[in-house]
Structure 1
Amino acid sequence: MGVELKVKCGFIIVLNAIMLVGCGKLTIEDAQPTLTSKNTTLDKIRATNTLVVGFHDRPAPFSYVPNGSATPIGYAIDIENHLINAVKLAVNMPNLDVQWKRIEASERINAVKTGMVDFECSTITNTLARQQEVSFSMGFFVVTSSFLVHKNQNFTGYQDLNNQKVGVVKNSVSEKILHDYVKNHATKIKIVQIDSENIENALQTGMVDMLFSDDVLLANNRMNLKKPDEWQIVGEPNNYEIYGCTLGKNDDTFKKVIDNSLLDLYATGKIYQMYDKWFKTPLPKLGKNLNYSLSVENAKLFAKPYDTPVPSDISKATQNISKGFKTD
Structure 2
Amino acid sequence: MKRFPFPARRALRPLTLSVLAAAVVLPAQAGDTLAKIASTGKITVAYRESSVPFSYLDGTRPVGLTMDMSNAIVAAVRKQLKRPDIKVEMQAVTSQNRIPLLTNGTIDLECGSTTNNSARAKEVDFAINHFYTGTRLAVKARSGIHGYADLKGKVVAVTTGTTNVQVMRKYLVDHHLDAKMVMAKDHADAFLMVETGRADAFAMDDVLLFGLIANSRTPHDYAVVGTPLQVEPYACMLRKDDPRFKTLVDGTIGHMMKSGEFTRLYTRWFMQPIPPRNVRINMPMGPQLKANLRNLSDRPAT
TM bracket, shorter-chain basis: 0.7 to 0.9
Q: Is the 8 A contact 1:200 1:225 kept in 2?
A: no
* More deviation, 249-258/48-57: 48-57
Match of 1:54 in 2: 46
2:65 pairs with 1:81? no
* The 10-residue stretch of structure 1 (32-41 or 128-137) with the greater mean CA deviation from structure 2: 32-41
Q: SS of 2:208's equivalent?
A: helix
Which of 206, 211, 223 is matched with 1:215 structurally?
A: 206
| Structure 2 residue aligned with 1:278 | 269
1:270 partner amino acid:
E
Matches of 2:15 and 2:199, distance apart in 1: 49
1:45 alignment counterpart: 37
* Matched-pair contact (CA < 8 Å) for 2:28–2:34: no
Alignment pair present for 1:268 and 2:266: no
The answer to whether the 8 A contact 2:99-2:124 is kept is yes
The answer to whether structure 1 residue 253 and structure 2 residue 212 are counterparts is no
- Seen in structure 2, the aligned counterparts of structure 1 residues 27 and 257 have a Cα distance that, compared at 3 Å, is closer
1:31 is aligned to 23
Q: Contact 1:51–1:118 (CA<8 Å) still a contact in 2?
A: yes
Contact 1:146 1:214 in 2 (8 A): yes
When residues 218 and 21 of structure 1 are mapped into structure 2, their CA distance, relative to the original with a 3 A threshold, is closer
Shift of residue 214 of structure 1? 0.6
Specify the SS of the correspondent of 2:290. helix
Query: 2:181 is paired with a residue of what secondary structure?
Result: strand
The 3 A distance-change label for structure 1 pair 114 and 179 is: same
Give, in whole Å, the separation in 2 of the partners of 1:207 and 1:162: 16
Structure 2 unmatched ranges of 5 or more: 1-13
Q: How many Å apart are 1:185 and its aligned residue? A: 2.6
Matching residue within 198, 213, 220 for 2:189: 198
Separation (CA, whole Å) in 2 of partners of 1:303 and 1:97: 34
Structure 2 counterpart of 1:53, one-letter code: V
Match of 1:96 in 2: 86
- Aligned partner of 1:164 in structure 2 is 154
- Deviation, 1:127, is 2.5
- Measured after TM superposition, the shift of residue 21 of structure 1 is 9.2
Whole-Å separation in 2 of the counterparts to 1:165 and 1:36:
50
Match of 2:101 in 1: 111
- Tell me, in whole angstroms, the C-alpha distance in 2 between the residues paired with 1:126 and 1:144: 13
Residue 108 of structure 1 aligns with an amino acid whose one-letter code is R
5+ long unaligned stretches in structure 1: 1-19, 314-328
1:248-297 Cα offsets, whole Å, 9 max, x none, are 11111110110111111111111111111112222134323322332222
* Residues in 2 aligned to 1:191 and 1:36: alpha-carbon distance in whole angstroms: 46
Q: How does 1:175-186 map to 2 (within 5 A)?
A: 175-186=165-176
CA, structure 1 residues 172+21, in 2 after alignment: closer, same or farther (shift >3 Å)? closer
Structure 1 runs of 4+ aligned residues shifted over 4 Å read: 25-28
User: Structure 1 pair 246/164, CA: closer, same or farther in 2 (3 Å)?
Assistant: same
TM (norm. structure 2) is 0.85
Q: State the aligned residue count.
A: 290
**Distance of aligned partners of 1:165 and 1:26 in 2 relative to their CA distance in 1, 3 Å threshold:** same
The alpha carbon displacement at 1:154 in A equals 4.2
Distance 1:200 1:36, change over 3 A: closer
Taking the aligned partners of 2:137 and 2:276, their CA distance within structure 1 comes to 28
What is the CA RMSD across the aligned residues, in angstroms? 2.8
* 1:274/1:199 CA distance change after superposition, 3 Å: same
Alignment of 1:225-236 (within 5 A): 225-236=216-227
- Post-superposition shift, 1:219? 0.8
Q: 1:284 aligns to what SS in structure 2?
A: coil
User: Whose radius of gyration is greater, 1 or 2?
Assistant: 1
CA distance in 1, matches of 2:286, 2:200: 26
Q: Indicate the percent of aligned positions where both proteins have the same amino acid.
A: 26
Q: Which amino acid aligns with 1:282?
A: P
- Cα distance between partner residues in 2 of 1:309 and 1:210: 28
In structure 2, the CA distance between the partners of 1:231 and 1:108, relative to structure 1 (3 Å rule), is: same
Q: 2:145, 2:54 → 1: CA distance?
A: 29
